[in-house]
A and B are shown apart, each in its own frame.
Chain A
Amino acid sequence: MTTQALIPVAVFIAVYAAISFEWLNKAVAAVLGVMTLFVFGVIDVNAAARYIDFETIMLLVGMMGIVAVLKKSGFFTILTVRIAKLTGGQPLRILVLFCALTAVLSAFLDNVTTVLIMVPIIIELTRGMGLDPKIYVVALVMASNLGGTATLIGDPPNIIIGSKVGLTFNQFAIYLFIPVVISTVCVIAYFWVTNRESFKSIDNDLTKLFSVQMLIEKIEFDFLTVKIDRTFLLKSIICLGIALLLFVTHTITHLSPGVVALSMAMILFIITRMEIEHVLLEVEWSTLMFFAGLFILVGAMEEKGVIEWVARNIFMKAGSDPYVMTLMVLWVSGIASGLIDNIPFTITMIPIVRMMLEANPIPHNILWWALSLGACLGGNLTLIGASANIVSAGMLKKYGYPISFREYTRKSAPGTILSLIICSIILIIYLKVFL
């Protein structure tokens, strides 16, 4: 590594530390890092622009726009209240149905939005019955991170990997559906087995049965306060459906996911006549700035040979055994993502994994699936592993159920390790089948 490479390394480490220890806002830290590189002449503006993956940015903006309109339509609220009724107040049914719905929604919408919708209702439902909301919320958030792993658009690491590597919506679905479904089922089962007392049936407790009926009635009244515009709702769902169809038929239409998402968002704004200023308030501009900044920082490190050095001197030292390579990428990503933000980690790992594959090819993109699974599922490991975790902890505190880092991690870590073990087994099976 040359001395020229030391500047981007130092800047990257400083940015990472600022983000990890929350010294600065993520976006500010990333952009400040980029400005530092400009000041020291490490890169110029043209090079910086080249490093930004606009496909990823377009996909994020498009999906944020579609979700903003869907939220306004009341679609999610109706869905969650219906599920609450369906549970009949049975603790185990609450766990299973809410986790299942969360996992499915997270596969197509961003995890934070899903959590923001689901957590208030589950807290109302569980605390109204005298249950501990924390177990349910942690399980729900884990289901959200798990579900988001299943598709190209479900989680930012997948969006980045898919865009940078050229993997399609269908490829993600085909290879990740099975590990995600099995992991989700096992994690829910883990919560049930380790907390049996908390999930006992209430059918032999008349007071609880009575409370549940009143509670569900109250939830319906409290949450269905918006007037549902059915035409608006229909338009939103149709546009989302078309977007998903176009993702699936990408190999036929050759329309990239970013183009699809942004186009459908614009069409949705037009046909629903939503005020664009209101919708744009829902777009997380700081997240997009953060992404852009990171793309530039990692691009600069790649240009200066830093990534190649890391790949050759750390990851490729593991050897050329595809099983070892795959499991190493999975577990290193899994553990690292639990401790540090998985987005910069993923962006950094992509050129490393690319180099590993150039040296030792593994078919069917298995190494990319290992990175995806590790980066996404690792977010469940600790409280700080994913944004959805932090958001849910904030909501628990707001409702009077504060949860510490230790308590959260005690509840989430075993299930995460379990899901990584399951993914290891499935990846090994993939290797056995395809090698």
Chain B
Amino acid sequence: MKTTEKNQILYHLIRDYMYTMGTSRTTIVALKSYIDAIQRLNCTEQELKGLVLELNEVLKKTEPKIVSLAHLIEVFEEEMKQHWDSGMEAFKSRATAYLEQQLKRFEADTKSVTAQCAERIEPGDFIITSSPTEYLSKAFILAHTALKKQFKVLVLKQDYLRTRDMVNTLENHGIEYVLIPQYNLSHFLGKANKLFIGAVSISTDQKAVTGFGTANVVSICHTHNVPVYLFIETLKFSHTPLQDQHIYMEKKDIIESDTIFHMTSFSNDFVDLNLINHLVTEKGERMRP
């Protein structure tokens, strides 16, 4: 199989994972998968460097770019330069240890972002969520069960699996919520008082790459003066502009009730940071870059 074909299969898999689990969880699973793969690898010492660099290149160029993963891979590669010639077992041992260290660091960052999110939930809030991911769910649980705050969540029905997971989480923890189709948001703009979103990355030209559907929600909330909170780990701040974020474009035919629609779709939206009122990382609220 050609390399580009193989890469496309992997990018497709990673994209599917991101759609359902979010970028942070995808980064964590990718690191764990890398650790397992290194441990299982059975090759010659001559092949080792090539195989590692090949995978690293693939992971740095996913579509869309997972900036947090790319950054962690870059530091991993830098660290492992001194160990290429140390022998297979020594390399594997060092690589595993370093990746586990990076994994712990990222998990700690994600946990901190969750805590920062929970702190920004006030009693009586009616919070809109768009394309919510795992740490947003965890933040709601933390705020409700540990911090004993009473609030309501407006869940926009978007991707089936994410919506299902958010609804299950809220129901299981007794958190009040309203589920609406995204197109009915205008009916709640006078009642909801905050919008919480996450992002895949932030580019150098002040754009946040977000889940699809988020740009419209942010736009309408901004127009109606609903404060927009963006929660993101600093590892997701990219060193490159939007056009280098590899947002994936797809043209495909959708068949519904015997009608064929020739559809063009993009894997992600992007939101101008000028529309974001509060940019919150694991270290707290920060000024726009």
Q: Which A residues are within 8 Å of any B CB, using their own CB?
A: 88, 127-130, 201, 203-215, 217-218, 221-222, 225
25 A-B pairs in the complex with CB atoms less than 8 angstroms apart? A128-B9, A129-B9, A130-B6, A203-B42, A203-B43, A204-B43, A204-B47, A206-B38, A206-B43, A206-B55, A207-B58, A208-B6, A210-B30, A210-B37, A210-B55, A211-B9, A211-B10, A214-B13, A214-B14, A217-B29, A218-B16, A218-B17, A218-B20, A221-B21, A222-B20
| Total cross-chain contacts (CB, 8 A) | 72
Q: Which B residues are within 8 Å of any A CB, using their own CB?
A: 1, 5-6, 9-10, 13-14, 16-17, 20-21, 29-30, 32-34, 36-38, 40-43, 47, 51-52, 54-55, 58, 161, 164
Residues of A within 8 A of B9 (CB): 127-130, 211
B41 near A203 with CB under 8 A, answer yes
A214 near B55 with CB under 8 A, answer no
* Nearest residue, chain B, Cβ from A132: B1
B54 near A206 with CB under 8 A, answer yes
**Complex Cα spacing A178 to B102, Å:** 54
**Complex Cα spacing A201 to B52, Å:** 18
Of A209, A217, A218, the contact of B37 (CB 8 Å cutoff):
A209
Counting chain B CB atoms within 10 Å of each CB, the highest count among A88, A130, A214, A215 belongs to A214
A213 near B32 with CB under 8 A, answer yes
* A363 shortest CB reach to chain B, Å: 55
Question: Given the known A-B contacts A210-B55, A213-B33, are A204 and B6 also in contact in the complex, defined by CB atoms under 8 Å?
Answer: no
Residues of A within 8 A of B54 (CB): 206-207
A206 near B13 with CB under 8 A, answer no
**Complex Cα spacing A211 to B41, Å:** 13
Residues of B within 8 A of A217 (CB): 17, 29, 33
* B25 shortest CB reach to chain A, Å: 10
**Complex Cα spacing A217 to B34, Å:** 13
* A228 shortest CB reach to chain B, Å: 14
Residues of B within 8 A of A215 (CB): 13
**Complex Cα spacing A130 to B3, Å:** 11
Residues of B within 8 A of A222 (CB): 20
* Nearest residue, chain B, Cβ from A204: B43
**Complex Cα spacing A217 to B6, Å:** 19
Residues of A within 8 A of B40 (CB): 88, 203, 209
**Complex Cα spacing A211 to B8, Å:** 11
Counting chain B CB atoms within 10 Å of each CB, the highest count among A203, A206, A221, A222 belongs to A206
**Complex Cα spacing A212 to B39, Å:** 13
Of B34, B38, B51, the contact of A205 (CB 8 Å cutoff):
B51
Residues of B within 8 A of A206 (CB): 37-38, 41, 43, 51-52, 54-55
* B98 shortest CB reach to chain A, Å: 16
B13 near A218 with CB under 8 A, answer yes
**Complex Cα spacing A126 to B140, Å:** 37
Contacts A204-B51, A217-B17 known; list 18 others, CB within 8 Å: A127-B9, A128-B9, A128-B13, A130-B6, A203-B41, A204-B41, A206-B38, A206-B41, A206-B51, A207-B6, A207-B51, A210-B10, A213-B37, A214-B33, A218-B16, A218-B17, A225-B161, A225-B164
**Complex Cα spacing A217 to B21, Å:** 11
**Complex Cα spacing A218 to B25, Å:** 12
* A284 shortest CB reach to chain B, Å: 27
**Complex Cα spacing A330 to B42, Å:** 48
* Nearest residue, chain A, Cβ from B48: A206
A210 near B17 with CB under 8 A, answer no
A213 near B36 with CB under 8 A, answer yes
B33 near A207 with CB under 8 A, answer no
Shortest Cβ-Cβ A-B pairs, 4 listed: A213-B33, A209-B37, A203-B42, A206-B51
Residues of B within 8 A of A210 (CB): 10, 30, 33-34, 37, 55
* Nearest residue, chain B, Cβ from A216: B33
Residues of A within 8 A of B36 (CB): 209, 213
Of A201, A203, A204, A211, the contact of B13 (CB 8 Å cutoff):
A211
* Nearest residue, chain A, Cβ from B52: A206
Residues of A within 8 A of B14 (CB): 214
* Nearest residue, chain B, Cβ from A90: B40
A214 near B29 with CB under 8 A, answer yes
* Nearest residue, chain B, Cβ from A127: B9
* B177 shortest CB reach to chain A, Å: 19
* B153 shortest CB reach to chain A, Å: 21
* B184 shortest CB reach to chain A, Å: 26
Residues of A within 8 A of B16 (CB): 218
Residues of B within 8 A of A221 (CB): 20-21
* A107 shortest CB reach to chain B, Å: 33
B42 near A207 with CB under 8 A, answer no
Residues of A within 8 A of B42 (CB): 201, 203-204
* Nearest residue, chain B, Cβ from A215: B13
* Nearest residue, chain A, Cβ from B26: A214
**Complex Cα spacing A130 to B14, Å:** 14
Residues of A within 8 A of B20 (CB): 218, 221-222
Residues of B within 8 A of A225 (CB): 161, 164
* A203 shortest CB reach to chain B, Å: 4
Question: Given the known A-B contacts A206-B37, A209-B36, A209-B40, are A214 and B30 also in contact in the complex, defined by CB atoms under 8 Å?
Answer: yes
* Nearest residue, chain A, Cβ from B12: A128
**Complex Cα spacing A208 to B13, Å:** 12
**Complex Cα spacing A222 to B21, Å:** 11
**Complex Cα spacing A208 to B40, Å:** 11
* B253 shortest CB reach to chain A, Å: 12
* Nearest residue, chain B, Cβ from A210: B37
* A151 shortest CB reach to chain B, Å: 38
* Nearest residue, chain B, Cβ from A213: B33
**Complex Cα spacing A218 to B37, Å:** 16
* B109 shortest CB reach to chain A, Å: 21
